[in-house]
Every structure is written in C-alpha cells, then in structure tokens.
Structure 1
C-alpha cells in the first residue's frame, strides 16, 4: 500500500460576533406553558412519537422536559391564525429535529412510520 500524503487537520476561526436580520414568526408562549401544564396534570412527559422520557434517562435533570412542536406549520399560518393545545405535540429533541427535516414538517404518524424503518 502506498504512503498517503499527510493532511493537516483543518482549524477554523470561530467565536466572532455577527449581526443578522431575519424574519421570525410569532408564537404565543402561553400555549407552550399550557401544554406543559397539561402534561404535568396528566403525569406524562414522554414523546408522543417514540415514548422517550427525559426523566427516565436523565433523572431529576430531565424531569418535566420535552419540546413543544406545532403540528400546523407556523411558517404556513396567516397572520391572526389561532393555535389550540391540540395543535401542539410533545416531542423529544430527536423526533422534533426529524419532524423539521423537510420544509413542510412531517406529521406525527409519518415520524412513527420513519422510526419503524418503513420510510
């Protein structure tokens, strides 16, 4: 086998400060608070797709933690649109990231199918 040339590992400069201007869609923080309250009352903080429970894996650090996902894409809503608690899902970080892999987020059922390896 021939000797391969030595390649110096890449080093990139990071940590500088930049200013960006971008569009952000409004969200009502009370909806997230109410979704968390509903989960607390139900005693269930597990992911609605895969069942992952942060407390079961991380102990007290993960207690009560989940990410809130809009099942109706916010970027497709018209100004003044209303969101109900039923339009929100509690997801683990992995399922939430996978939901947003496409411009139009996957539905919860599409995520479940993908998780089972049938996509």
Structure 2
C-alpha cells in the first residue's frame, strides 16, 4: 500500500532530497502532490499528479514567486541536462506524451542542445494513457507512482547543484555534496545515480544480482553506482554523463572493480567471474 510516508521515503532514498507527499482522493479527484520539504511554496515548486479516466497526467508547477528557480534552471549545465535527457528518453520510450515549453514555445525534451539561451518561463508536463485502473484506490496510486518517480527525477535534474568539499565522503561516491540556490544541501551524486538507475535498473551489470529478488521489500531499489572513470582522475571541467559514465553494480562487484587502478572494466570483471567458475571453458 502506497502511503504518504513510504512514498516520501522512496523519493528521498532515490534522489537524496527530503520531500512532502500528499495523496488525496476526494469526490472522484485522485491526486499525488510532491514538494521539496525545505523550499517555501512560493519560491519552490510542486509535482502535481492527477489520476484521470484510464490515464495519468503529471505537471511541474513553479511557485508564484519562483523566478529565481527558473533562472537557476536556465543556467543548468551540461551534466544536469544530460541527466534530464536520460529521464526524458526513459519516459518517452515507456510511451509517455512528454511536453516541454520554454518561453511558451515547445521544444524536444530529449534535445537540450536545441533549447534557447534565455528563459522567462518553463512548463513541463506528461500524460500516459491506456492505464487500466481498478476498484482499489491504493493499487491505482501504486500503479502510477513509478511515473511520478521518473517525472520527479526529470525536473529535479535541472536544479542548480554545485560541488562542495566534504572530508567525510562515502568511499565510492566521489562527487561530494552540493547546494541549491536556497543553500539547501543536496547530494549531487544522487541525481546522477537516479538517472543511471532510471536507465539501467537496479540489477548488477556484472553478476546480475538484484537485491529486491533476494531480500524482498527491504532490498528493492538498492544498488551501488560505479563511475567508469573515477572522478579523482579527471579535472573539474568534466561533466558526468549518466548514460556513458555510470553503471549499476552490487557492493561486492563494486569493490572488486576498484581492486586495481584504473578500475577493471565491467567486461573484464565478468570475464574473471566466468574464468573462476568455469576454468576449463
């Protein structure tokens, strides 16, 4: 059963951002509203999801005084737009009708190189039809929530994130922390991690381990994300592309990938596993 608490926990675990989730069903109107917990409504935004007749509609809604937020999204860098493209292509491939308007003009969401330089406004929305809802409201909310996750990742990827030094970084997460224009601290690496998971899922690309299949609910969605090129070995001008630079791996395989410098490739480690298990083949 999808509740407001576990919905916010899922989003927090995936994106590293505290959010409030409001799930409502009133007089036939069924909605899910997601807001960042630490941004005032007037200067922040919400993700509004409406369950229609056999369809779901989701919209990015900036606050009434969110000009600074729009300006910051306008200034999104190559890394952020690469993550946006990952989520956009994922939604499109799954059959969503995705709409992006900048300055009231339509642009292809998966072609950020064609977007204009100056933004006065941004409108993002999607619709997915041919969704068969049943008689159980709770099951209907669970059915549409994966679309909410993907759309939230799409929007959050354009938020202004800048690196901050952190002496206590997790050993395999080399991007450090980040902050938004409001001085709210987020994990920049979580956005790229979420984009990688959106693209490749949560099954290890080396050994095919899936924690949800082994541990059930407590393992669902758990996975490490490996940087093919360690960020410690490249300069600060390099932008991480989740599609080509990141890959999901289990903690064991992640540790083994880093047993040498530079790390083993995914194919090299898969070959070592095969040779160890089947030495005569």
1:103 aligns with 2:252: no
Residue 72 of structure 1: CA displacement? 1.3
**Inter-partner Cα distance in structure 1 for 2:239 and 2:268:** 24
Give the superposed CA RMSD.
2.4
1:59 aligns with 2:59: no
- 1:61-119 per-position Cα deviation (integer Å, ceiling 9, x unaligned): 11011100001121211111111012100001111000001121100011111111269
Residue 45 of structure 1: CA displacement? 1.7
For these two proteins, the number of residue pairs brought into alignment is 95
Query: Which residue of the partner structure matches residue 26 of structure 1?
Result: 175
Gaps of 5+ in 2: 1-165, 177-187
Residue 23 of structure 1: CA displacement? 9.4
**Inter-partner Cα distance in structure 2 for 1:58 and 1:93:** 15
**Inter-partner Cα distance in structure 2 for 1:38 and 1:103:** 27
Calculate the TM-score normalised by the size of structure 2: 0.31
Query: Which residue of the partner structure matches residue 13 of structure 1?
Result: none
Gaps of 5+ in 1: 1-20
1:93 aligns with 2:251: yes
- 1:15-49 per-position Cα deviation (integer Å, ceiling 9, x unaligned): xxxxxx9697535322112223334xxxx421011
The secondary structure found in structure 1 opposite 2:275 is coil
- Asked which structure has the greater RCO (Cα within 8 Å, sep 6+), the reply is 1
Calculate the TM-score normalised by the size of structure 1: 0.69
Q: 1:82 to 1:93 in 2, by over 3 A?
A: same
